[in-house]
């Protein structure tokens, strides 16, 4: 088929026009915020999003922390290797300065400065660990829980580097010999996988509360953050609560009520 100059100009003109049209559609989408919206929108409100509220003022004695941590670690067969280098932790404590870096002041109450704060995986809405996992071993469930599939974990530890909260531990050795008691209903982990808190996904699926919440005697609350009538939302609506490293934009699901009822 040969093409004369007249036809060529016609075709070129139509192509140029349709190209311009394509750009105008993109402009329209940007103008209406359709493209940007997909990056900032939170989860649809009809879905569940599990969250936790920790009322710091209700933790008074060493015993209060210990029973929560032990309940978790006993339920999930988390070993105590007795060596900070090999430590495996799902829920643990640290100082205010390390829990909420940048929020500390020179004139903070001594009691607050040295108070231990409970920490666990924040089950972020935008989890950086999930983004970096090369095997999708760590993933986010539709209800907001950031889960580990130990069958898939290859132990590359990208997720440990990505997590800004230090919530992940690596199994440098077989954890089994270090277990004091074994919960036969839950698996252990094996050498070479990364592990972390799973918000007790196995218990939630059965309709139970997480083990730590159950053991906390009301100092920790658990519920659906998307449900305005849930216990957690009521607590958040009536108290001032903060999250860890809010400025990083990972949108944690674990909230801390610092003041408590008496001095809020």
The smaller minimum CB distance to other proteins, of residues 198 and 216, is found at 198
Q: How far is the CB of 244 from other proteins (least distance, A)?
A: 26
Q: How far is the CB of 143 from other proteins (least distance, A)?
A: 7
Do β-strands 254-257 and 91-94 pair in parallel, antiparallel, or remain unpaired? Answer: unpaired
Could you tell me if 212 and 72 are in contact, meaning their C-beta atoms sit under 8 angstroms apart? yes
The smaller minimum CB distance to other proteins, of residues 65 and 222, is found at 222
Which residues, other chains included, contact 34 with Cβ-Cβ below 8 Å and sequence gap of 6+? Answer: none
The smaller minimum CB distance to other proteins, of residues 185 and 247, is found at 185
Q: How far is the CB of 20 from other proteins (least distance, A)?
A: 45
Binding stretches for other proteins (CB under 8 A): 77, 139, 141, 143, 147, 149-151, 182, 184-190, 201-202, 205-206
- Angstrom distances, CA of residue 184 to CA of 75, 149, 177, 187, 188: 9, 19, 15, 7, 9
- CA torsion through residues 245, 248, 254, 257, sign: positive
Q: How far is the CB of 50 from other proteins (least distance, A)?
A: 11
Q: In sequence order, what DSSP letters do the residues of 56-72 get, joined into one string? A: GGG--SHHHHHHHHHHH
Q: How far is the CB of 185 from other proteins (least distance, A)?
A: 6
Question: 89 — phi, psi (to 5°)?
Answer: -140, 140
The smaller minimum CB distance to other proteins, of residues 57 and 183, is found at 183
The smaller minimum CB distance to other proteins, of residues 4 and 185, is found at 185
Q: Which of 231, 30, 253 is nearest to 120 (CA)?
A: 253
């Amino acid at each position: 088929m040969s093409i004369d100059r007249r036809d060529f100009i016609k075709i070129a003109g139509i192509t140029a026009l349709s190209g311009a049209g394509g750009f105008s559609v993109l402009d329209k989408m940007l103008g209406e915020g359709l493209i940007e919206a997909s990056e900032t929108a939170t989860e649809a409100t009809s879905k569940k999003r599990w969250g936790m509220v920790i009322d710091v003022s209700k933790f008074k004695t060493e015993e209060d922390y210990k029973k929560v941590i032990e309940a978790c670690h006993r339920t999930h067969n988390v070993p105590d290797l007795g060596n900070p280098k090999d430590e495996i932790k799902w829920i643990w404590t640290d100082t205010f300065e390390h829990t909420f870096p940048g929020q500390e002041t020179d004139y903070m109450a001594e009691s607050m400065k040295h108070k231990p704060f409970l920490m666990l995986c924040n089950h972020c809405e935008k989890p950086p660990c999930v983004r970096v996992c090369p095997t999708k071993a760590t993933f986010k469930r539709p209800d907001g829980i950031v889960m580990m599939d130990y069958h898939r974990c290859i132990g590359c530890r990208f997720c440990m580097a990505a997590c800004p909260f230090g919530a992940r531990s690596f199994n440098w050795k077989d954890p089994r010999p270090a277990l004091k008691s074994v919960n036969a209903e839950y698996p252990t982990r094996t050498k070479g996988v990364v592990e972390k808190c799973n918000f007790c996904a196995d218990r939630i699926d059965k309709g139970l509360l997480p083990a730590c919440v159950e053991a906390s005697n009301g100092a920790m609350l658990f519920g659906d953050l998307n449900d305005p009538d849930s216990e957690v939302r009521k607590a958040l609506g009536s108290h001032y609560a903060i999250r860890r490293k809010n400025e990083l934009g990972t949108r944690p699901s674990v909230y801390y009520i610092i003041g408590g009822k008496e001095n809020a």
